[in-house]
Structure 1
Amino acid sequence: MLLRPQEMALYVERGVIDVGLAGRDWVRECNVDVLEVASLTYGKLTTQPARWVLAVAEDSTIQSVADLEGKVIFSELVEATKSYLKDNGVNATVKFSHGATEVKIPHLCDAIVELTETGSTLRANQLRIVDVVIESVTMLIANKESWTDEWKRHKAESLYILLSGALAAQNKVGLKMNIAQENLQSLLAILPAMRNPTISQLSQDGWYAVETIADERIVRDFIPELRSVGAEGIIEYPLSKVIP
């Protein structure tokens, strides 16, 4: 069953689904009474939280949320936008807009509240960001009644461990190598590790196998350094999960 983002939170609240994944933005938008078990931060372009931002035309006279008094705002996130305006003591009209909201300024509205990761689409449409309305990450949410069931709670907690482990492994790789005893300390001095590398003695006297986990972004430059201190038989391999 394929659900829209806002539907997942509603299904979980009503107990149709025991647990689910929903953006914090839609949990707030739907004002649902669910348990937020944990957050899972990931995105298409970055690992930073997504932002719903208040944006206006580059040449707009609007410089702050206070300047929105009496203005018209388009957004898909209507209720959260209204709450944001209320918190700032501003009276403005908020209208629902689905898709291509960026092109509706200034023809249909004075400002928009739109989801962005990097802001590149807004800049491409000659818009500038005035403020951040809400930051959002994916949440593992649970029905409150379901959470009191020990079996269901255990399953949900296990699911979180597996999902977070998969996310943690996204930008990491495993490294294996062999090293002579006389070079071992030189290797350990430069070797990255989540805690400490694994060291095993080989069947050949005076030689060790060393295994560690490293950020993928450094491996290209780092492997030649390993060779320079005497590492041999270096193997790089992908990881599917990293469980702290």
Structure 2
Amino acid sequence: MADVINSLSDRLLFGIPKKGRLHEHCLSLLSGADINFHRHNRLDIALVQNLPIALVFLPAADIPKYVADGNVDLGMTGQDMILESQVGDKIEQLLELGFGKCKLEVQVPIKSNIKKVEDLVGKRIVTSFVVLAGDYFEELDKKYLSDDQIKEGKKTKIEYVSGSVEAACALGLADGIVDLVESGETMRAAGLQSIATVCNSQAILFRHKNPSNPSLVSKITSRIRGVVAAQKYVLLNYNIHRNSLNEATKITPGRQAPTVSPLEKDGWVEVQSMVCKDNVAEIMDKLEEIGAKDILIFKINNCRV
């Protein structure tokens, strides 16, 4: 342990969620960016083997404060954690990572008489996001309560719990909750429904405004941006007669422009283009309809775009 601590002085510190919904995604992203490390059991610091970086494994909710205070240079966590930590003026958001997408939503029991968010004004809310929930309901209180009612303490009450937020209504602790929703399965299983969205969130890469090694931060950002782009796109390769090339390139314009190479067969060309992975089946159908042949898909592991 002492050897690891002594090795940190000349390394860029990178905060990574130590567990939870973002942890495995972040590790996969680091692997794709060729950031190689070995983490010893029960040790929350890991030295990167091929770059002067030390990974610091932290609770996801704490990473924004560590980066904002300059304890670590770079971090990955959810946008909801950054908003809740109120450190937006002390950090710089670098890149949306495309995973961990969810919504912070106001939820109430399906069987309750509360059908819209205004019905919760002046009632009890339980959440682990007291800052975001507090700001949200403060605006509703101003809109739906008089100044006298607010002075009399009739405004919405926000109470903090660290876990099992969805059980608060069933236990009689709250009239509604504010909690993260991904698929909605947990919400529905608890007999809850969403009536309003406080904010949308996904995992992001962000840095301290004055990191210890800005050039290394730029290198890491570029690598991770390449991995994120590679997850969104595939490389499409096909042959097409030159008479149909103009129509084909409208279907596959690429990010900048497609690569077109002549074939030995008279009048035919080969086309390569990056296309969105979500639309690839429809794109292949359209190409086939205009006479494209030998349509192939290649996975992209990393790229620079």
- When normalised by structure 2's length, the TM-score is 0.66
The reply on whether 1:13 has 2:78 as its aligned counterpart is no
The reply on whether 1:83 has 2:139 as its aligned counterpart is no
Select which of 223, 232, 237 maps to 2:293.
232
- Structure 1: segments with no counterpart, 5+ residues: none
The CA deviation string for residues 219-244 of structure 1, in whole angstroms up to 9 with x for no partner, is 33443543454433332101123544
- Give the superposition deviation at 1:178: 2.8
| Counterpart in the other structure of 2:12 | none
Tell whether the 8 Å contact from 1:187 to 1:229 is kept in structure 2 after alignment. yes
| Counterpart in the other structure of 1:98 | 163
Give the 3-state SS of the residue equivalent to 2:131 in structure 1: helix
The CA deviation string for residues 129-152 of structure 1, in whole angstroms up to 9 with x for no partner, is 122223223232222332xx6xx2
CA distance in 2, matches of 1:203, 1:71: 75
Relative to structure 2, which stretch is displaced further, 202-211 or 165-174?
Answer: 202-211
| Counterpart in the other structure of 2:119 | 67
Tell whether the 8 Å contact from 1:74 to 1:97 is kept in structure 2 after alignment. no
- Report the CA distance shift for 1:38/1:120 in structure 2 as closer, same or farther (over 3 A): same
Letter in 2 for 1:177: Y
| Counterpart in the other structure of 1:43 | 99
The CA deviation string for residues 158-191 of structure 1, in whole angstroms up to 9 with x for no partner, is 3333323322332321111233445544543544
| Counterpart in the other structure of 1:195 | 256
| Counterpart in the other structure of 1:156 | 217
Letter in 2 for 1:36: E
Query: Percent identical across equivalent pairs?
Result: 27
Tell whether the 8 Å contact from 2:235 to 2:275 is kept in structure 1 after alignment. yes
Give the 3-state SS of the residue equivalent to 1:84 in structure 2: helix
| Counterpart in the other structure of 1:34 | 90
| Counterpart in the other structure of 1:208 | 269
Select which of 100, 110, 128 maps to 1:58.
110
Tell whether the 8 Å contact from 2:92 to 2:209 is kept in structure 1 after alignment. no
Tell whether the 8 Å contact from 1:36 to 1:139 is kept in structure 2 after alignment. no
- Give the superposition deviation at 1:40: 0.6
Q: Which protein has greater RCO, CA pairs closer than 8 Å, 6+ apart? A: 1
Letter in 1 for 2:63: M
Q: How many residues align?
A: 235
CA distance in 1, matches of 2:244, 2:198: 55
- Give the superposition deviation at 1:57: 0.6
Tell whether the 8 Å contact from 1:22 to 1:139 is kept in structure 2 after alignment. yes
- Give the superposition deviation at 1:114: 0.8
The CA deviation string for residues 98-124 of structure 1, in whole angstroms up to 9 with x for no partner, is 13x223323232111110134343233
- Report the CA distance shift for 1:234/1:7 in structure 2 as closer, same or farther (over 3 A): same
CA distance in 2, matches of 1:224, 1:68: 50
- Give the superposition deviation at 1:54: 0.9
Letter in 2 for 1:103: A
Select which of 122, 125, 128 maps to 2:193.
128
| Counterpart in the other structure of 2:148 | none
Tell whether the 8 Å contact from 2:129 to 2:160 is kept in structure 1 after alignment. no
- When normalised by structure 1's length, the TM-score is 0.80
- Give the superposition deviation at 1:41: 4.7
Letter in 1 for 2:207: A
- Report the CA distance shift for 1:40/1:189 in structure 2 as closer, same or farther (over 3 A): closer
| Counterpart in the other structure of 1:178 | 239
Alpha-carbon RMSD: 2.8
The CA deviation string for residues 47-81 of structure 1, in whole angstroms up to 9 with x for no partner, is xx521111101122334444334533221212322
- Structure 2: segments with no counterpart, 5+ residues: 1-43, 45-56, 142-154
- Give the superposition deviation at 1:203: 5.0
Tell whether the 8 Å contact from 1:52 to 1:116 is kept in structure 2 after alignment. yes
